[in-house]
Amino acid sequence: SLVLNFIVDGNTNEFFDVWAGEEYIGFYRYDELPVYISNFYPRDAEYDLIRICDNDNEDCCAIHEFMGPDCGDEEACRIFEVFAEAHECNDDGGFFVDIEFDYHNVGDEGFTIRGNGDVYGDDFEYGESYYTIGPLLGDCETIYEFVVIDNQFDDCGGEFVFEEEICCGDMMACEIRDIEIDSMSCNDDGSYSLVLNFIVEGNTNEFFDVWAGEEYVGFYRYDDLPVYISNFYPRDTEYDLIRICDNDNEDCCAIHEFRGPDCGEEEECRIFEVFAEAHECNDDGGFFVDIEFDYHNVGDEGFSIRGNGEVYGDDFEYGETFYTIGPLIGDCETIYEFVIIDNQFDDCGGEFVFEEEICCGDMMACEIRDIEIDSMSCNDDGSYSLVLNFIVEGNTNEFFDVWAGEEYVGFYRYDELPVYISNFYPRDAEYDLIRICDNDNDHCCTIHEFLGPNCEEDNECAIENLTVINTECVESEFYLLVDLDYNEAFDESEVVLFGNGTNYGAYELSEFPIALGIFDYLNDSLNEMVAYHEASNCEIFTEFEVECDDFVDSVNESKLSYLNVFSDGQILNVISKNSNNYKVQIYDISGKMVSHSTSNVSLKMNTNYLSSGIYVVKIVDMQSGHYSAQLLSLGY
C-alpha cells in the first residue's frame, strides 16, 4: 500500500486514473488528494513505475519511477489502521488518549508509542484492544501525533495525527474584531470590489462566511486574510453593512458599517493592469525593476510607488510608458510587491506581486545531465514513443522544452519526470538526437544522441490476427482464449499481453493459443487486448465482447457431483456414479463442436485425433438441464 500525492493543472474533470506499470489500479478524486492506494503491485525491477492520467484524457499523463518496499516471499511486519481518540478534558486542563491499531507478523519484543518528541512508553505488549496514554496538556496549540513502532523491527510502524489542536481549560471565546475595508473599486453592474481584513480569536474551524447586508457573498479561509471580494452589492443608504460569521457558527458573528464608494454615473479614479519586470542582476547583487500600468480619471497630483514597507517615491507624474525602481537587493528571500497609489485619491490604486523570490549573487549554474531514453515503441506514422528522464540543477522555472533534432516536440514539467512522449520523429541517420532546454532559457540546453528503434515501413511485424473469445460462463466465471498467427522463425520469442489496464504477462509464441483467467462476468470489464512483440518491435490490437448472457446463477458442483471428468491427454474419462442420462460436448477455441457423446454410464472418449490446443468440455444432465464446463489442454 502507498499514499499518493501530486499537483495537477488544467485537468478536464474531477477524477484521475492510476496504473501500476501496465496494470490498472483504479480512479480517484483530485479533491481527495493525497489518496491511499491499498494494493499496488511491483514490477520485476529495482524501481517501480506509477502512471497517472487525467480521467479519460490520454493527453494528460505522467509516469513516475520510484523505489518501492521489499515485499518478498517472507511477509513483513505491518502496523496499520492506527487510530487515536481523545477523552474529555479533566479539571487540571489535561486529557487522556485511547490508541488502537491492527498488526500483522510483528516481533515478540512488544512496541513503543512516541509522538511530538516524547516517548510515551517502550514496553507495551501486543494483544490489548486499546492503549491509554496521558494525561497530556490541552494547550490549544499542539497538534498531537502518535507513532507506534515495533521494538524488534524498527522499520515497522504506523501513525495517527489529530487534525487540530485540543483545547482544555478556559477556551478563548470566539470573537471577530478590528474589521478593515480597503481598496474599493466600482464594477459595471453597480457592485464594487473590496479588500477585507480583520482579527479573529477562538474560531471553531478554518473558514468564515460573508454577507452584504442580507445577501450571502461567500465563504473564505482565515489564513487567506486579507481577502479580495470581487462583487459586493451596496444597500440604498449612506452606509453599507458587512456581516462576518465563523463558518457554521451563528454564535460568532460581527456586523460592520462603512461608507462604500459612490458607483453612480460619475466615473471614479482607476489604476489597473499593473505589471513589473525585473532587470538582470548587477555585479553588486542588486537589480532594477520596470513598472507600467493603465489609469483612468486619476488626480492631478501624481502618484506614489510603495511596497514591502518601503516608499520608492511619492512624486511620480503620470504619462511615462514605464517607471524604473531600484536598485533592490536580490536576497533570494523577499517576494517583492509594488503598489501604485494616486496622491489625490488615496483609495485609488493597484498592485503587482512577483510570484517568487529574486536571487542575485552565487546562483547555481543551470545544468541538464544524465539523460535516459527508455521504453521505445514504433507508431504507424513512422514516429515512435519513448520515456525521457534526466537530472536538472539550477533551472529557472518549472518547465522544459524538447526537440527531435530541429523539430519542436513540446514542453513538460520537471516535477513530472520521467515523462512519456508519444510521437518522436527519427532523423535520416543511424542515431537520433534529442535536445532539451530549460523553458525560455537558451543558456541551459543539452543534446543527447541515442539509437532509436527501427520503424521503417518494411520492418514486418512477426505477429498478426489476434483473436480473443471467452469460454462458456459457469456461475458467471469464464476464461479468455487468446490466439494469434506468427512467423515461426520467432517461435521462441515472447509476446506481452495487456488490456483494460492489466498486464497479463509474457508468453512464448510457441505456447499459443493460451487461456487467461479465471474472470468474473459480474465484476471484470473486458473488451480489448494488445499483444506486444519486442523482437520485431510491434504490437497488434483487437477488441472483443464477452458473451455471458445465459450463465446459471447456481450450477453444478452439487448438481453434477455424480460425474468425475479427467484426461490423460489422449482419452477423456467420464466416471458416472448413477444412471442419469448425460451428454458430453467438446468445443474448439472458435466455438465449434468437434466431438460429442451421450451415455448413462461411465465412458471414454478418444481425443488423440484432435489437434493441439485449448478446448472446452461441456457436460449436460439431460434430465435437469444443469451443466458444467471446464478447459481441456491437448498437445502441451
Confidence of residue 364 (pLDDT cuts 50, 70, 90): low
Mean pLDDT along residues 487-509 = 85
Weakest mean pLDDT among 3-7, 55-59, 216-220, 631-635? 631-635
pLDDT of residue 555: 36
Measured between alpha carbons, how far is residue 49 from residues 44, 91, 391, 496 in Å? Answer: 11, 54, 18, 17
Higher pLDDT, 554 or 498: 498
Higher pLDDT, 265 or 126: 126
Other beta carbons within 10 angstroms of residue 110's beta carbon come to: 16
Per-residue model confidence as pLDDT tens digits over 569-582: 788 888 877 778 88
With a pLDDT cut of 70, the percent of the chain lying above it is: 93
Per-residue model confidence as pLDDT tens digits over 524-556: 888 888 888 878 777 888 999 988 765 544 334
Cell 491511499 identifies what position? 36
Backbone angles phi, psi at 32, to 5 degrees: -105, 0
pLDDT of residue 172: 60
Per-residue model confidence as pLDDT tens digits over 506-520: 899 988 888 888 888
Per-residue model confidence as pLDDT tens digits over 369-418: 999 998 577 887 888 888 899 999 878 788 999 999 888 999 999 998 88
Indicate if the pLDDT at residue 636 is higher than 90.
Answer: no
98 SS3 class: strand
| CB contact at 8 A, 203 and 245 | no
Instruction: Tell me how far apart the alpha carbons of residues 521 and 589 are, in angstroms, rounded to a whole number.
Output: 19
pLDDT of residue 557: 42
pLDDT of residue 401: 94
Measured between alpha carbons, how far is residue 411 from residues 4, 317, 450 in Å? Answer: 24, 42, 20
| CB contact at 8 A, 113 and 79 | no
Mean pLDDT along residues 520-524 = 85
Per-residue model confidence as pLDDT tens digits over 143-170: 899 999 999 988 899 999 998 888 775 5
Out of 168-182, 303-317, 485-499, 586-600, the most confident range is: 303-317
Mean pLDDT along residues 434-453 = 87
Instruction: Tell me how far apart the alpha carbons of residues 137 and 265 are, in angstroms, rounded to a whole number.
Output: 60
Confidence of residue 589 (pLDDT cuts 50, 70, 90): low
pLDDT of residue 556: 42
pLDDT of residue 553: 40
**Strand-by-strand arrangement of the 253-258 sheet:** 215-221, 207-212, 240-246, 253-258
Confidence of residue 560 (pLDDT cuts 50, 70, 90): low
| CB contact at 8 A, 413 and 383 | no
Q: Identify the DSSP state of 603.
A: E
pLDDT of residue 16: 93
Mean pLDDT along residues 478-505 = 85
Q: What is the mean pLDDT of the chain?
A: 85
User: What DSSP string runs through 20-58?
Assistant: ETTEEEEEEEGGG-SEEES--PPPSSSSEEEEEEETT-T
pLDDT of residue 539: 80
Mean pLDDT along residues 436-461 = 81
Take residue 291 and report the three cell numbers written for it.
513598472
Model pTM?
0.29
Higher pLDDT, 139 or 293: 293
pLDDT of residue 435: 92
What is the dihedral sign for C-alpha 525, 526, 528, 529? positive
Q: Write the burial class of residue 595 (CB in 10 Å: 0-12 exposed, 13-18 middle, 19+ buried).
A: middle
Residues in CB range of 1: below 8 A, 6 or more apart: 36, 37, 38, 39, 40, 80
| CB contact at 8 A, 323 and 305 | yes
Instruction: Tell me how far apart the alpha carbons of residues 292 and 273 are, in angstroms, rounded to a whole number.
Output: 8
Indicate if the pLDDT at residue 34 is higher than 80.
Answer: yes
pLDDT of residue 455: 75
| β-pairing verdict for 175-186 and 192-201 | antiparallel
